[in-house]
Structure 1
Amino acid sequence: MPERTQSAPRIDEFDIRALPKAEVHIHLEGSFALIDILTLAKESGSALPGPASTIFDITTHGAYAAPEVTTGGGSGVGAGGLTGFLGFLDWQCGLVRTREQAARIAYSFAARQSSAGVRYSDVIVNPTHWNAWRGRELELMDAFAAGFDDAEQDGLCVTNMAYSLLRSQSAIEAEDIVGALVAARPRRVVALSVDGDEKVSGRTGEKFQNAFAAAASAGFHRTVHAGESSGPEGVWDAIDLLQAERIDHGVRAIEDPALIKTLIDREITLGVCPRSNVSLGIYRDWQSHPLPRLLDAGVAVTLNTDDPAPLGTTLDADWAVAATEFGFTYDDLAGFAERSIDASFANDDLKATLHSELQTTIAEHS
């Protein structure tokens, strides 16, 4: 990797968007545009959890910087921190009640990704947030797939889904979910995931070990949220117990040299999201973030947004900030693009196409 300097010239976001890339750590629940929320609320006759101007603050300036918003259940966003943020996600996802609305959200996601220069996405979907679809989770997946089908047909970002368990679910629930996924093989569901607050739930690797083993045996990919609010032990559990091919976050691995070696030896990629980590207080600022140290150690790292709408960002914007904060060059960002394609769960043909287009883009830039 080229030597980085803090005085590296600013990279134009047009050049960042032009790099063919994948995003591998992003949640559908955290990708609602303001117009999506306002339209869904109007369609359902639901009152906004505060003035429209406050919803604007949440979806454009970031939930963590926004004034407190209370939902019907009293959860605050902004001043409410992570709990309030999750409460807001539950409220907005609860507005999606029909197949057509779900397909529209999926199409809107693909359009948003395309506008940031993303060509392929592994989007994480946790059905526990979508309360109108309880007991009909596979129907929800199919509705999203229909929207992603339409988006791909229209030339937008190709999107597949990682079905995510919630850490607070039981082992039996997880095994039943995987059994249903294996039996139904829902379209565009290519991976099993698990997310939720590690600090609250504690170590859950052993609880979900059988579910992830069944998913692996059935040919589903595995990606696990770990090493965010937990330390390196969460990443070890993801690797040793859940057969993780990719780690979502994983930044706390920097604290354990043996874990760093294991990540390198097993070629396990970290889907890192600096803005999210800083917003949630995992690190105090961008300069404290271990992203450069992980790269220098030889870990395969991709740069992602996590929940871009409530964090008030897009992938191209975060790549530009990373370039400024860490002194990344254009070649560094091309490396992020290359690793994102490699780490994605796209099929081999699409990966080959994206790699070819990436090399052409880099040559034309030189």
Structure 2
Amino acid sequence: MKRFLNGTELDFNKPRPSDPRQLLQDGRVLPATPSWLDSQNPSLTHTSIVLFFSSPICGTTIMRLFSFPSTASSRWSSMSIWIGAIRLETIAELARRKGHKEVLTSVEDLRKSIVMDHPESLSKFIHRFGLYLPVIAGDKEAIRRVAYELVQDKAREGVVYLEVRYSPQLLATADVEPKSWGLPRGDLDPNGVVEAVSKGLREGAAEFSVITRSILCCMRHRPAWSPEVLRLCVRHGGVLDIEHENVPTNETSSLEQPMVVGMDLAGDESLVTVAGSGHIQAFQEARRMGIHRTVHAGEAGPASVVREAVTKLKAERIGHGYHLLEDLELYHLLLQQQIHFEMCPWSSYITGAYVGDFNKHPLIRFLADGASVSLNTDDPLILGSTLETDYCLARRHMSCTDENFIAMNMAAASASFLPRAEKDALMESLRNAYGLTST
């Protein structure tokens, strides 16, 4: 069957180029449809499970499980950031209703201003958030809505588990200094932001049968915010007991499922390569309390940022980590420690984090060396990409096989921040789905 993109027939028999731009037509990525991927490899089945990890305010990181025999509809499990996954239609509607002068009110105009279709820089990537977050920040109902809509959208894609990441302070207009986006003082504080997100996620989870959890993000350029992020993690998520199970704290209702499962450090590594003392103290205290930790490191910054993430911030997972290969001694040490790496090929190209042919992408080396690594997307809104974009890149240019995809997603499930009993259940369901033997 012939397939077309923007009126151009796609020829799947052509040699696979190492330059990802040759996957594009008129500046747009190939569409994210399972049938397109199936046409590339008939062995891919219609059932898949996906896990998302994400860049704290910079993106959605996605892991997908491929290829086990079933005729059921797609089932994905995801750990994702909702700030980078808001509907353009919702942004436009809110901007029109509020009469917001700084945010465009046309969906097409928003798409042209927000979506990146060629390589730039991490700083320019992060700048895009300021083009639409002002219509959401400080608005408790809007925040609840976009959290709910995220669960709905992921349910439509077949997602069964979702980890959502965001910075409470970046969405607050009260009890936070400095306030973001040039907004006037309001009445929504960071705690209210977490309540709004949790409410939207719970509503979406109940209605669409998607298990949801969230991760609260510290920001590299705001170390003074990190102690409060830690307090919010405890208040809304509880801590881990000696059996590594989430247990409610005095401030968490025992009648509600704790929503927050960890904390993250995000922001522009190219500008801030050394974590402030506020970050270090908060992350070390998080480790003492048993709160899970992930850090974006080695994306735009050098290997030294990864070293700091694991030695001083006590990270269990690393977002991106491409530049770790600049320090092979540290690289091999982290392989031995089974640190998990969340890699995002298309994002690495668009943000300039990786410059080179995809057939030499760091993901290939990590896989060859047996690293605990997952394949992800990063902010589908800003990147104009989908899950299929990264999987097609990995399949076409990195020679990834079904076995690679299965291994990456089993590693992703193992590295998830779910409580032990729920993680064990997820792992067992994946083993059954893939026909793997339990260990």
When structure 1 is superposed on structure 2, of 279-288 and 29-38 the one drifting more is 279-288
Aligned-pair distance for 1:51? 5.0
Residues 1:87 and 1:132: Cα distance change in structure 2 (over 3 Å) = farther
Alignment size in residue pairs: 343
Match of 2:374 in 1: 302
Report the equivalent of 2:255.
none
| Residue in structure 1 matching 2:86, options 20, 32, 38 | 32
Match of 1:157 in 2: 210
TM-score by length of 1: 0.84
Provide the C-alpha distance between the structure 2 equivalents of 1:102 and 1:50, rounded to a whole number of angstroms.
18
Deviation string 1:45-82 (CA, Å, 9 cap, x unpaired) is: 224337542313356xx3244xxxxxxxxxxxx98x54
Q: Tell me which residue corresponds to 2:127.
A: 87
- Using the TM superposition, give the Cα deviation of residue 102 of structure 1 relative to its aligned residue in structure 2, in angstroms: 1.2
Shift of 1:118: 3.3
Q: Give percent identity, aligned residues only.
A: 25
Alpha-carbon spacing, 1:86–1:264, altered in 2? closer, same or farther (3 Å): closer
Query: CA shift at 1:251, angstroms?
Result: 1.4
> Hey, what does 2:296 align to over in structure 1?
225
Q: Residue 110 of structure 2 corresponds to which residue in structure 1?
A: 55
Deviation at 1:271, TM superposition (A): 0.8
Shift of 1:206: 5.0
Partners of 1:84 and 1:253 lie apart in 2 by 23
Whether the aligned pair in 2 keeps the contact of 1:58 and 1:310 (CA below 8 Å) is no
**Is structure 2 residue 161 aligned with structure 1 residue 120?**
yes
My pick for the range that moved more, 111-120 or 179-188, is: 179-188
Residue identity opposite 1:336 in structure 2:
M
Give the CA deviation at 1:205. Answer: 6.0
More helix by share: 1
- The aligned residue for residue 257 of structure 1 is 328
Larger RCO (CA under 8 A, 6+ residues apart): 1
Amino acid in structure 1 at the alignment position of 2:231? G
User: C-alpha displacement at 1:225, in angstroms?
Assistant: 0.7
Q: Which has the larger radius of gyration?
A: 2
Secondary structure, aligned partner of 2:40: coil
Q: Is the 8 A contact 2:169 2:225 kept in 1?
A: no
Return the offset for 1:361: 3.2
Q: 2:387 aligns to what?
A: 315
Q: Which residue among 314, 317, 325 is the counterpart of 2:397?
A: 325
- Greater alpha carbon shift after TM alignment, 134-143 vs 49-58: 49-58
**Cα displacement string for residues 108-152 of structure 1 (whole angstroms, at most 9, x for unaligned residues):** 222333344433232221234325465411111111111111121
Corresponding residue for residue 47 of structure 2: 18
How far off its partner does 1:12 sit? 6.3
Partner in structure 1 of residue 147 of structure 2: 106
C-alpha contact 1:205 1:237 (8 A) present in aligned 2 = no
Equivalent residues in 2 for 1:124-163, closer than 5 Å:
124-132=165-173, 135=176, 136-163=189-216
Whole-angstrom distance in 2 between the partners of 1:38 and 1:125: 21
- Code of the residue aligned with 1:232 in structure 2: it is A
Whether contact under 8 Å (1:305, 1:313) holds in the other structure is yes
Structure 2, unmatched stretches of 5+, are 1-15, 18-36, 55-59, 61-80, 177-188, 238-251, 253-257
For the residues of structure 2 that align with 1:12 and 1:57, how far apart are their CA atoms?
35
One-letter amino acid matched to 1:129: L
Matched letter for residue 11 of structure 1: N
Distance 1:333 1:305, change over 3 A: same
Greater CA deviation, 222-231 or 113-122?
113-122
1:55 maps to amino acid: L
Q: TM-score, normalised by structure 2?
A: 0.71
CA contact (8 A) 1:111 1:156 kept: no
The match for 1:196 is 267
Q: Secondary structure at the match of 2:263?
A: strand
Say which SS state the counterpart of residue 408 (structure 2) adopts. helix
Q: 1:14 to 1:114 in 2, by over 3 A?
A: farther
**Letter aligned with residue 23 of structure 1:** F
Tell me which moved more, 153-162 or 224-233.
Answer: 153-162
